[in-house]
Structure 1
């Protein structure tokens, strides 16, 4: 299970509470019994008037009744501190580094029986998250009392606003979710123009970009055929003698584009 941003371990304790409940005359005039009152999750239905009383918190310590006055006094045991959950998440960050790269970083203060973290994302205005990767726990056997750091890189992020979250999974399969992080979209600045296609022996490529780029042409087997430095606005010529389907990848410092080129 995942405890979002717990800065210190908390020891479980019990708080003893005594409180007074006053009941409607329609109920207390019917001669109530202590068995009508129980622990959290129980309820009492009065058949005479159709009223249902539900108990939502605490563990019953004692119950006393005063039927004449319609008063019920109860001693309850309630948690004073939450028991620390098996995984304590210190932080979770997501940042877009380029058009085709989003990096997620998170760290844990302690882990117990942790299998790992599924990375999930959804596009803006989409209701559903989908899993894009899994990062196993760095703790030996899923247990650690020391801080641990994690990261994951999304190599194919959406261009628009994207939301990310972690689904932490225990060794027994139980899951808990981190807070959601939003990553802004990326404004495309690299445009690639290629002609003719299909090509006959050679073709030309021109880019529109605030940055210089490199054009890499590879054959169907992935072998590099030609590599050219490209300046914005210039028409660069690529020469190919063997017919086939080639892949042209144009890369700047922050973006990349890939085109399939047919050579006849």
Structure 2
């Protein structure tokens, strides 16, 4: 698609030359404490995500005119605050996307001196009054077709790989092609899945490859608009010989239910969910009776607020922590 905002939120193993920077604290853009991880302050070409409950303040002009396209995505409940007289200056093919009616740009006035610029053109200014601008909106208008929030491929059984992706919004999206390659040069389409047309809602897609060749295997998505325009996304790699199935939580991010797959039958496990402070917000015990049994981690009735959590799966002496985002 020509116009997709690509929210890519951390949890993926994508081969890419840009990084995803997720805001985890309401603070200044230039502060490392604002962003998840280390060496984490956004640079030109990154994908920036401001999630629910977070306000990121631009108190000094952000100048990304040199470098790759920067994608700034303000999610539902997120805030991007631009102080009076400050600017966000981005290179060609960049954009700022307000995903929903509760995603906002806050500003303190400044008229035409407070603005967002893409490729030398002002695509948004504060205008004559202070206040806020609410979404859904994208600057420049018509800039993105499909917002790819997550893409992953995972071995779930011998010779079987599950490919999953999440979009945070779609514009004129006809369909996706799931493609596979052994050499990163020659890709073949293994499945075609219809898109949602135009929507600002999150959508989760899954494809299963039952004929995985041995050795290094690469998967990628090709997105096709109704007008035939295509967008090719970066590939993710697995080693079908060496890849061992680990517990995982999917879909991730999620806006409701989430699951994990337990390989072994007759397994007793405890599934706990904590917030980022370590406070337990949900705990349950499960017993599997079948191999590769799908187990419910979230059923949507936990009433958890949007944000980041840690899922802890324990069975015997095995323990695994998995970061989960709830939209």
Q: Specify the TM-score bucket, using the shorter chain as the normaliser.
A: 0.3 to 0.5
TM-score relative to the length of structure 1: 0.42
Compare CA radii of gyration and give the structure with the larger one: 1
TM-score relative to the length of structure 2: 0.34
